Chain A
Amino acid sequence: MTLLQARDLRKRFGPVAALDDVSLSLRRREIVAIVGESGSGKSTLLNVLSGRIAPDSGTVLYDEGEGLSPIAGRGEARLRHLQRTRWGFVQQDPRQALRLSVTAGGNIGERLMVSGARHYGDIRATAARWLETVEIDPARLDDLPRTFSGGMLQRLQIAATLVTEPELVFMDEPTGGLDVSVQARILDLVRGLVRRLGLAVLLVTHDIGVARLLADRLVVMRHGRIVETGLTDQVLDDPHHEYTQLLVSSVLPA
């Protein structure tokens, strides 16, 4: 039941090997966290896996229901369609992902409309329900996001991304830059939604606490390579690799 698979990915940016022979798999309904420090290559990996940038070598394969096949071979149009319908991407900065001069309802409605929704009233009702789901007052449906706080913007982005219940969601530091209490709220939300909707999630974070809270499996990256992988509790409670031990021991106690 492998949904997404990467084989032998390599990517250089000038002299820097951002990805150095990286392989991994993601199954349906599985949450995998990729942890590492800045420069570890984790964001590059996410961008390659989601088709946003092409690797120098290696393949990314996806199973749409007929077995794994390379995403590169599908053509730009089909890949873009996949990204807008069956995949979702939650960015670290919601301001990059949302249309700030479009109402909250319009932002959530966009994916619905791209997927063929043509009934204004239904789109609006769905958007209002999703605002409630992400704990934003539905009365703000017609408000512009520029009036929202950072946490609200991120929750709006989550609603706007998950509204079409994509089977695979990529998340890049979904709680980065937010206050700790706000983070907790969003992580809770994400965990509940992911479980409820049965989504597969590939999540990049530098925060081990986030990984422990959300992920079934953990992949530890350093200098473009995967140094350790396993169940989340295995990697965090029984780290084998020197770098993983360093990462885990560096976490400040609550």
Chain B
Amino acid sequence: MIVLDAAGLEKTFVLHLQNGTRLPVLRGAGLTLRAGRCVALTGPSGAGKSTLLRALYGNYRVSAGSIRVRHRGAMIDMADAPPERVIEIRRETLGYVSQFLRAMPRLAARDVVAAPLLDRGAAAEAAAARARAMLDRLGIPTPLHALPPVTFSGGEQQRVNLARAFACEWPILLLDEPTASLDAANRDIVIGLMREAKARGAALLGIFHDRHVRDAVADETLSLEPLKESA
């Protein structure tokens, strides 16, 4: 079943502070995601992989094209959906895992992880239990659960980030270098989580520089090439 269908995406950055330099990154880009399958984005640095991922999440606004997402049973075009619809889609349907954790300054790790569950209306107890379980799975020691992740190491922060992503069930999950700062053992745990997500029917789209991870989870790859810069 198709859960995400993007086509004709165009994105050009106009840098007003650099004399209006235009930086085209996407032209005619598109892809299809199916439930239970993982697509890996590949290509050289600067090819637009991250840009495409962010565009699909609605973080970067495209100037042309459509991004249709299966949300509450219907296909909705994120590219021209009203802001409240995008927020709803991001809350229920479309998840995004970045390379780095960005969290509220004083929020405890378990609250960071529980937040998306609470946003969906889960009961505090259930959300807290799930958060604890996920932090345990990713090897965050219990004493750290009550501390704000800002004091953690980069790797620990990323694991909190991942715990947050996988504590919820996302029909579609976008992942940007999820295992970049992890050691082999943790990387394998994340592979396990991704496989479980796929088995549940989630569609995954990821940028994995680590070949091992890519081979372990991706069902197909999509290669991007950098655009020739126009004048």
* Direct touching of A and B (C-beta under 8 Å): yes
Q: Which of B27-35, B79-87, B129-137, B201-209 contacts A (4 or more CB under 8 A)?
A: B79-87
Contact partner of A184 among B54, B60, B83, B105, CB < 8 A? B105
Q: Is A16 an interface residue (CB 8 A)?
A: no
Q: Is A129 an interface residue (CB 8 A)?
A: no
User: Contact between A242 and B60 (Cβ–Cβ < 8 Å)?
Assistant: no
Q: How far is the CA of A199 from the CA of B59 in the complex (A)?
A: 25
Q: Which residues of chain A in 225-254 are interfacial with respect to chain B, using CB atoms and an 8 Å cutoff?
A: 230-231, 233-234, 237-238, 240-242, 245-246, 249
Query: Per-residue 0/1 for B49-60: is the Cβ within 8 Å of any A Cβ (1 yes, 0 no)?
Result: 000001000111
User: Contact between A245 and B16 (Cβ–Cβ < 8 Å)?
Assistant: yes
Given the interface pairs A230-B61, A237-B59, the reply to whether A188 lies near B104 with Cβ below 8 Å is yes
User: Contact between A234 and B106 (Cβ–Cβ < 8 Å)?
Assistant: no
Q: How many A-B residue pairs have CB under 8 A?
A: 48
Q: How far is the CA of A218 from the CA of B15 in the complex (A)?
A: 20
User: Contact between B105 and A231 (Cβ–Cβ < 8 Å)?
Assistant: no
Task: List the B side residues contacting A191 at CB < 8 Å.
Answer: 104
Closest B residue to A191 using CB positions: B104
Closest B residue to A236 using CB positions: B59
Task: List the B side residues contacting A206 at CB < 8 Å.
Answer: none
Q: How far is the CA of A187 from the CA of B106 in the complex (A)?
A: 10
Closest Cβ of chain A to B55, distance in Å, is 9
Q: Is B74 an interface residue (CB 8 A)?
A: no
Q: Is B182 an interface residue (CB 8 A)?
A: no
Interface SS of A by simple majority? helix
Task: List the A side residues contacting B61 at CB < 8 Å.
Answer: 230, 234, 238, 240
Contact partner of B107 among A188, A217, A233, A238, CB < 8 A? A188
User: Contact between A245 and B58 (Cβ–Cβ < 8 Å)?
Assistant: no
Q: Is A143 an interface residue (CB 8 A)?
A: no
Q: Is A216 an interface residue (CB 8 A)?
A: yes
Q: Is B1 an interface residue (CB 8 A)?
A: no
Q: How far is the CA of A233 from the CA of B86 in the complex (A)?
A: 12
Q: Is B123 an interface residue (CB 8 A)?
A: no
Q: How far is the CA of A195 from the CA of B119 in the complex (A)?
A: 9
Task: List the B side residues contacting A124 at CB < 8 Å.
Answer: none
Contact partner of B83 among A185, A195, A231, A240, CB < 8 A? A231
User: Contact between B104 and A231 (Cβ–Cβ < 8 Å)?
Assistant: no
Closest Cβ of chain A to B104, distance in Å, is 6
User: Contact between A240 and B14 (Cβ–Cβ < 8 Å)?
Assistant: yes
Closest Cβ of chain A to B128, distance in Å, is 15
Closest B residue to A217 using CB positions: B83
Given the interface pairs A216-B83, A242-B17, A246-B17, the reply to whether A185 lies near B106 with Cβ below 8 Å is yes
Given the interface pairs A240-B14, A245-B17, A249-B17, the reply to whether A234 lies near B59 with Cβ below 8 Å is yes
Task: List the A side residues contacting B118 at CB < 8 Å.
Answer: 195
Q: Is A213 an interface residue (CB 8 A)?
A: yes
Task: List the B side residues contacting A231 at CB < 8 Å.
Answer: 58, 83, 86-87
Closest B residue to A241 using CB positions: B16
User: Contact between B59 and A188 (Cβ–Cβ < 8 Å)?
Assistant: no
Q: How far is the CA of A188 from the CA of B115 in the complex (A)?
A: 13
Task: List the A side residues contacting B86 at CB < 8 Å.
Answer: 231
User: Contact between A237 and B83 (Cβ–Cβ < 8 Å)?
Assistant: no
Q: How far is the CA of A242 from the CA of B15 in the complex (A)?
A: 8
Closest B residue to A32 using CB positions: B83
Task: List the B side residues contacting A216 at CB < 8 Å.
Answer: 83, 87
Task: List the A side residues contacting B17 at CB < 8 Å.
Answer: 242, 245-246, 249
Binding site for A on B (CB under 8 A): 13-17, 54, 58-61, 83-84, 86-87, 104-107, 118
Cβ contacts A to B, 17 pairs, < 8 Å: A187-B105, A188-B104, A188-B107, A191-B104, A213-B104, A216-B83, A231-B58, A231-B83, A234-B59, A238-B13, A240-B61, A242-B16, A245-B15, A245-B16, A245-B17, A246-B17, A249-B17
- 15 new A-B pairs (CB below 8 Å) besides A188-B104, A240-B61, A246-B17? A184-B106, A187-B104, A188-B106, A213-B104, A216-B83, A217-B83, A230-B61, A231-B83, A231-B86, A234-B58, A234-B60, A237-B59, A238-B13, A245-B17, A249-B17
Q: Which 3 A-B pairs have the closest CB atoms?
A: A242-B16, A184-B105, A238-B60
